[in-house]
């Protein structure tokens, strides 16, 4: 094992972000607006399907586009809802398509993404967007970014970030009933976590750490060399520690380990040279109770 995530020691904590609700941004276009789904560019790399075209889905499916990254914890936390919606509504006309837009350099490697998609158990179609072509066509703003299109190919609902799962499922039901007015829908899923409740106020948490730009937020042991979007341990025994306020922490690692997320208590130790630390990500604290 080339690296481990273990107990650490003190460093100066980052300032927590302000109190926020679970949902970052959710919108239904105004009545009469006709915002059509952009077409997928040609010659993209697809997983779980040969390829798809939006113009061939129109009229027979409603399409949920999810911008995600296998190395973003908020994409991991959203995934169980997507998988359940796929199981519930696929036979009723819902087509879920993931657009993988990499937040880190290793995510531009199709083999890395394919392994991660397999490990995460993602069965719906995924298109790789390493050059952010699809991202720009949608004007997307972050991970996860969710866009629901009806059977005519018109945008009916969009959402950025975690949260608004019940509202998303209600919107899915609305567009599916337009395909089949007699469709019997189940009740929306119950929240999988307390922080997923609608309108809940979350505790303040530390902002994610991006490297090498924010290496001053870390307490470093031994030499770490700046790279494109990481710091690299120059020798074995190098350590990096961050203090944080959050419900959980994950280190983003690559090099001699499989690239991706590793659950952490805030310290990463390199057991051999070359371990790359791309940053730390944090999940929400449980909501405040009255």
Domain boundaries, the chain: 3-16+204-283, 20-196
pLDDT above 50 (res 7): no
pTM (predicted TM-score): 0.89
Question: How many angstroms separate the CA atoms of 236 and 6, rounded?
Answer: 15
Question: How many angstroms separate the CA atoms of 93 and 64, rounded?
Answer: 11
HSE-up of 127 (CA within 13 Å, CB side)?
Answer: 23
pLDDT (tens digit, 9 = 90+) per residue, 185-211?
999 999 999 888 877 788 888 999 999
pLDDT (tens digit, 9 = 90+) per residue, 233-277?
999 999 999 999 999 999 999 999 999 999 999 999 999 999 999
Task: State mean pLDDT over 144-159.
Answer: 96
H or E stretch covering 54: helix 54-57
**Closest by CA position to 270, among listed 243, 246, 241:** 241
pLDDT above 80 (res 25): no
Question: How many angstroms separate the CA atoms of 161 and 216, rounded?
Answer: 27
CATH homologous superfamily for 20-196?
Glutaredoxin (3.40.30.10)
**Closest by CA position to 102, among listed 248, 217, 254:** 254
Q: Which two tokens stand for residue 168?
A: 């998303």
pLDDT (tens digit, 9 = 90+) per residue, 87-127?
999 999 999 999 999 999 999 999 999 999 999 999 999 99
How many C-beta atoms lie closer than 10 Å to residue 59's C-beta?
10
Cβ-contact 176, 187 below 8 angstroms? no
């Amino acid at each position: 094992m080339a690296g481990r995530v273990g107990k650490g020691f003190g460093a100066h904590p980052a300032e927590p972000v302000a109190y926020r609700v679970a949902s970052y941004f959710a919108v239904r276009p105004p009545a009469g607006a006709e915002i059509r789904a952009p077409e997928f560019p040609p010659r993209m790399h697809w997983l779980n399907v040969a390829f798809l075209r939006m113009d061939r889905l129109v009229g027979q499916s409603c399409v949920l586009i999810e911008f995600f990254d296998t190395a973003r914890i908020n994409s991991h936390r959203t995934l169980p809802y997507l998988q359940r919606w796929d199981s519930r509504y696929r036979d009723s006309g819902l087509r879920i398509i993931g657009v993988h837009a990499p937040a880190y350099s290793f995510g531009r490697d199709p083999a890395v993404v394919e392994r991660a998609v397999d490990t995460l158990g993602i069965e719906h179609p995924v298109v790789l967007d390493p050059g952010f072509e699809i991202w720009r066509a949608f004007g997307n703003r972050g991970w996860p970014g969710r866009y629901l299109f009806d059977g005519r190919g018109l945008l009916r609902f969009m959402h950025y970030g975690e949260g608004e799962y019940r509202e998303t499922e209600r919107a899915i039901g609305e567009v599916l009933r337009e395909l089949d007015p007699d469709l019997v829908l189940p009740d929306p899923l119950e929240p999988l976590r307390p922080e997923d409740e609608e309108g809940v106020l979350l505790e303040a948490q530390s902002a994610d750490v991006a490297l090498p730009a924010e290496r001053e937020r870390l307490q470093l042991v031994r030499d770490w060399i700046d790279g494109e979007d990481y710091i690299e341990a120059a020798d074995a025994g190098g350590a990096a520690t961050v203090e944080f306020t959050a419900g959980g922490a994950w280190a983003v690692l690559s090099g001699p380990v499989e690239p991706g997320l590793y659950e952490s208590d805030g310290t990463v130790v390199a057991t051999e040279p070359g371990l790359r630390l791309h940053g730390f990500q944090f999940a929400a604290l449980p909501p405040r109770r009255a």
